[in-house]
């Protein structure tokens, strides 16, 4: 076994599920997402939407890049 893996197995203890649950039950739950979750989501979506609209309207995107119907063929010369 590699020395690093052996060190990791010996020195890094994985906490049991009971310890994690006990620690989480002692902390006060954060209500940030309850207060501001929807506002942050709406703000992010509107920011992306406005940025996309700006890109579409102001940045000079050329739509319909197909040359069909815009190029007339030149007659063939047999020299």
Residue-wise pLDDT tens digits, 47-64:
999 999 988 888 776 666
Does residue 12 form part of some domain?
A: yes
**Measured at the alpha carbon of residue 14, what is the angle toward residues 12 and 18, in degrees to the nearest 5?**
150
What is the span of the domain harbouring residue 7? 3-58
Name which of 38, 37, 40 is nearest 48 in CA terms. 40
Say if residue 65's pLDDT is above 80: no
Cα gap 7→10, rounded to integer Å: 5
Give the pLDDT confidence score for residue 9 in this predicted structure.
59
Whole-angstrom Cα distance, residue 33 to residue 38?
A: 8
- Is residue 72 situated within a structural domain? no
Q: Tell me how many domains the chain contains.
A: 1
Residue 74 domain flag: no
* Predicted structure pTM score: 0.41
């Amino acid at each position: 076994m590699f020395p690093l893996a052996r060190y990791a197995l010996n020195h890094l203890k994985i906490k049991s599920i009971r310890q994690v649950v006990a620690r989480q039950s002692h902390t006060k739950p954060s209500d940030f997402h309850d207060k501001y979750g929807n506002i942050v989501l709406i703000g992010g979506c509107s920011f992306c939407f406005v940025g996309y609209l700006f890109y579409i309207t102001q940045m000079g995107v050329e739509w319909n890049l197909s040359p069909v119907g815009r190029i007339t063929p030149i007659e063939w010369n047999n020299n």
